[in-house]
Structure 1
Amino acid sequence: MSYPTVVIGAGVVGLAVARALALRGHEVIVLEAETAIGTQTSSRNSEVIHAGIYYTQGSLKAQLCVQGKALLYAYCEERGIAYQRLGKLIVATEPAQEAQLNTIAERARNNGVHDLKRLSQQEALALEPHIRCHGALLSPSTGIVDSHALMLHLQGDIENAGGVVALVCAVASIDASTRLRDAQAPLLIRTLDGNELEAGLVVNAAGHGAIPLAHRTQGMNAQHIPQAYFVKGQYFTLTGKTPFQRLIYPVPQIGGLGVHLTLDLGGQGKFGPDVHWCDRADDLEVREEDAAAFAQAIQAYWPDVSIDRLQPGYAGMRPNIGGPKMASPDFAIQGPQTHGIAGLVHLFGIESPGLTSCMAIGNRTVQALGLE
């Protein structure tokens, strides 16, 4: 008997995984707890297409960001999905930070990013006259994308290939105990409304829900399940017109990339994210009183910004698997080679650059299932 393939979670990563499986001929069902696709982490990011600059050489983040960037730009071009390859400046706001630019450029080259250009202060000012810096790196392959349009196209591909996206279908548990004894037995999925579904392959792409669901998977050894950490990043929007044509990033700071300027496809400027370690995933309040700290951080590279132009925007929550005193964790695409359950893959810690990497994560998940 042939059982369907089930992907749990219809964020951008879950949809990209489901698309990769559907296009390879699998009967795919996507189960989403919410009333629409991409309403959680996927709707609360900066919509930046990252170049692959900062990540540890050889890590999944480094590999899949660079691969995913190329796949994403090609897909957007093919499907007419709105995007702009704006480029970004990484700026040294103090002379001592210029050495960090060289380190960043070297790491980027090691990751396969060969288009960075070192700029002097004068060259940076020629591109962005309102900036304050002592030097900069130009990343021409950084861009922005309409993430909702991207997800709609991924959903369309799934459905055109015969797949189904089922909304308001929260998963209560996965029973893999029989599969451990018999590799031909189905994986049993139970939903909160009491239904049961037999599946041949299952991908847990539930974002913040992935770790709790792994704990609710019968037959899953808890030693393979990482601890969940919650990292909130707030964004403040800029009222009025921004004087910048590109994204502006300070050199990275401990815990993140610093409060940077991004633009949306309409040219609206926004700043963020900052870093707040939280106790729960739904702590998404933007604190208006943090505008002063944002203004101070921004003034390091844009002295003319006024706190009066900063308005609370939104907050996102990263599904981290590393704590505040740990090195930045890698993506965890955990398949049978780790936990021993055939046909099951858990996706843990898919934070930034998850959007950029989504299509590459889809391909890597297919490999983790032993299908390529």
Structure 2
Amino acid sequence: MAYPTVVIGAGVVGLAVARALALQGQEVIVLEAETAIGTQTSSRNSEVVHAGIYYPPGSAKARLCVAGKAMLYDYCTARGIAHQRIGKLIVATEAAQQTQLATMAERAQANGVHDLQWLSAAQVHVLEPELRCHSALLSPSTGIVDSHGLMLSLQGDLENAGGVVAIASPVAEIDARAHAANAQAPLLVRTEDGTELEAGLVVNAAGHGAIGLAHRTQGLDAQHIPTAFFVKGQYFTLSGQVPFQRLIYPVPQIGGLGIHLTLDLGGQAKFGPDVQWTDRADDLVVNPADQQRFAEAIQTYWPTLNAERLQPGYAGMRPNIGGPHMVSPDFLIQDATSHGLPGLVNLFGIESPGLTSCLAIAEQVAASASLH
């Protein structure tokens, strides 16, 4: 008997995975706890299409970001999803940061990013007269995308292939005990309203809830479940027009990429995210008192910013699995080769560049699923 596939979580990664599996001919149902798709991490980010600069060579983040970027641009072009290859400047605001930029350039080259350009302060001034820096790296393939339009398109593809998205369907637990003893027995997914679904494949794409759900997976050895860390990132928006045409990023800091300037597709600017370690995944309030701290960080590269133009925007939550002392924890795409339960895939730590990587992650999960 062929059992259906259940994907848990209708963020951009869950929808991309579900689409890929449905296009393989599988019967797919997506269970989403919230009352709409993509209301958590997928809608609380910078909507940036990353180039693949920051991640350790050979890591899943590096590989899937670079592959995912190409796939995402092609997909958005083919589907008419709003996006722009707007470009990004990564700036050294003082001479001492030049070494960090050089290291980033070498890492990017190793990752397959071959289009970075070194710019002097004078060359930067020609492109962005209001930007102050010692030097910069220009990444022309960095862009922005309408993340909600992307998710709607992925959902449409899924449904056209026969898949279903069930909103307001929080999952209580997964029972893999019978499956562990007999791979022909189905995995059982129980929702909080008591519904029980038999599944041949279950993909846990629950974002910052993925680790909690793994702990509620009976038959999964706890040694295979990483520790959950939550990293809150606040954004402040800018009233009025911004004098920049590109994204502006400082050199990275531990836990994030610094308080950077991003533009939306309408040309409006926002700054963030910052890095705040918290114990609660639902801690999404922006503290207005952080306005001055944001302004001082931004003024290192935009000295003429008037702090009063900054307004509290929104906050997002990174589902981190490394903790405050790990510079760049990798994605963890966990299947039976590690935990020994065929048909169960856990997606842990899918933080940035998860949006950029979504189609490449989906391709990897679908390829893995076809082997079992």
Quickly name the TM-score band, shorter chain normalised.
Answer: over 0.9
How many Å separate the matches in 2 of 1:79 and 1:370? Answer: 26
Q: Distance in 2 between matches of 1:327 and 1:149?
A: 32
In the alignment, is the contact (CA less than 8 A) between 1:89 and 1:136 conserved in 2?
A: yes
2:167 paired residue number: 167
Give, in whole Å, the separation in 2 of the partners of 1:98 and 1:200: 52
What is the rounded CA distance, in whole Å, between the counterparts of 1:369 and 1:267 in structure 2?
Answer: 41
Partner of 1:41: 41
Q: The residue matched to 1:300 in structure 2 has which SS?
A: coil
Counterpart for residue 198 of structure 1 = 198
Q: One-letter code of the match for 1:51? A: A
What secondary structure is seen at the aligned counterpart in 1 of 2:262?
Answer: strand
The whole-number CA distance in structure 2 between the counterparts of 1:182 and 1:349 is 29
CA distance in structure 1 between the aligned counterparts of 2:371 and 2:81, rounded to whole angstroms: 29
Query: What TM-score comes out, normalization by structure 1 length?
Result: 0.99
How many residue pairs align between the two structures?
Answer: 372
Deviation of 1:370 after TM superposition, in Å, equals 4.5
Partner of residue 299, structure 1: 299
Counterpart check, 1:132 vs 2:132: yes
**1:7 and 2:12 matched:** no
Query: Aligned equivalents of 2:168 and 2:314: distance in 1?
Result: 24
- Give the Å deviation of 1:101: 1.4
Unmatched runs of 5 consecutive residues or more in structure 2: none
Q: Deviations over 1:183-217 (max 9, x none)?
A: 11100111100110100101000011111111111
CA–CA separation in structure 1 for the residues paired with 2:283 and 2:138: 35
Partner of 2:359: 359
Give distance in 2, aligned partners of 1:255 and 1:197. 38
Query: Hey, what does 2:208 align to over in structure 1?
Result: 208
Tell me, yes or no, if structure 1 residue 246 matches structure 2 residue 246.
yes
Give the aligned partner of residue 350 of structure 1: 350
Distance in 2, matches of 1:220 and 1:242, equals 50
Q: Distance in 2 between matches of 1:107 and 1:322?
A: 20
Q: Distance in 2 between matches of 1:319 and 1:244?
A: 31
SS at match of 2:286: coil
Match of 2:226 in 1: 226
Report if the CA contact (8 A) 2:54-2:104 is conserved.
yes
How many Å separate the matches in 1 of 2:232 and 2:361? 23
- CA distance in structure 2 between the partners assigned to 1:223 and 1:104 by the alignment: 34
Instruction: State the alpha-carbon separation in 1 of the partners of residues 137 and 326 from structure 2.
Output: 27
Deviation at 1:254? 2.2
SS at the partner of 1:351? coil
**1:266 corresponding residue in structure 2:** 266
1:325 to partner: Cα distance: 1.5
Instruction: Specify the SS of the correspondent of 2:312.
Output: strand
Q: Note if contact 2:65-2:356 (Cα within 8 Å) is conserved in structure 1.
A: yes
- Answer whether contact 2:254 2:327 (CA < 8 A) is retained: no
CA distance in 1, matches of 2:11, 2:371: 22
Q: Take 2:340 and 2:241, find their aligned partners in 1: how far apart are those partners?
A: 54
| Equivalent in the alignment of 2:288 | 288
Q: TM-score, normalised by structure 2?
A: 0.99
Any unmatched runs of 5+ in structure 1?
none
Looking at structure 2, the residues matched to 180 and 172 of structure 1 have their Cα atoms a distance apart, in angstroms, of 19
Partner Cα separation in structure 2 for residue 368 and residue 285 of structure 1: 38
SS of residue paired to 2:39: coil
One-letter code of the match for 1:56?
A: P
Contact between 1:22 and 1:28, CA under 8 Å: does it hold in 2? yes
- 1:345 maps to a residue whose letter is V
Contact 1:345–1:368, Cα closer than 8 Å, also in 2:
no
Cα deviation, 1:245-265, whole Å, max 9, x if unaligned, reads 000001112222110000000
Output the aligned Cα RMSD: 0.9
Partner Cα distance (2:140, 2:134) in 1:
19
Deviations along 1:134-165, whole A, 9 cap, x unmatched? Answer: 11100000000000000000000000001101
User: Contact 1:235 / 1:274 at 8 angstroms: preserved in 2?
Assistant: yes
CA distance in 1: counterparts of 2:120 and 2:281, whole angstroms: 42
Structure 1 match to 2:338: 338
Q: Deviations over 1:329-365 (max 9, x none)?
A: 1000000011100111000000000000000000111
| Range with bigger deviation, 98-107 or 256-265 | 98-107
Q: In the alignment, which residue of structure 1 is the partner of 2:150?
A: 150
C-alpha contact (below 8 Å) 1:259/1:297 kept by paired residues: yes
Classify the secondary structure of the residue corresponding to 2:141. coil
Amino acid at match of 1:104: M
- Partners of 1:368 and 1:286 lie apart in 2 by 40
Distance 1:178 1:42 in 2: 34
Runs in 1 of length 4+ with deviation above 6 angstroms? none
Q: Provide the residue aligned with 2:114 in structure 1.
A: 114
Please tell me the residue identity of whatever aligns with 2:181.
Answer: R
SS of equivalent residue, structure 1 residue 342: coil
Matched residue, 2:80 = 80
Q: Is 1:184–2:190 an aligned residue pair?
A: no
Contact 1:344 1:369 in 2 (8 A): no
- Does structure 2 retain, via aligned residues, the 8 Å contact 1:32–1:166? yes
Q: What SS does the aligned partner of 2:21 have?
A: helix
Question: Shift of the alpha carbon at 1:366?
Answer: 1.7
Contact 2:254 2:324 in 1 (8 A): no
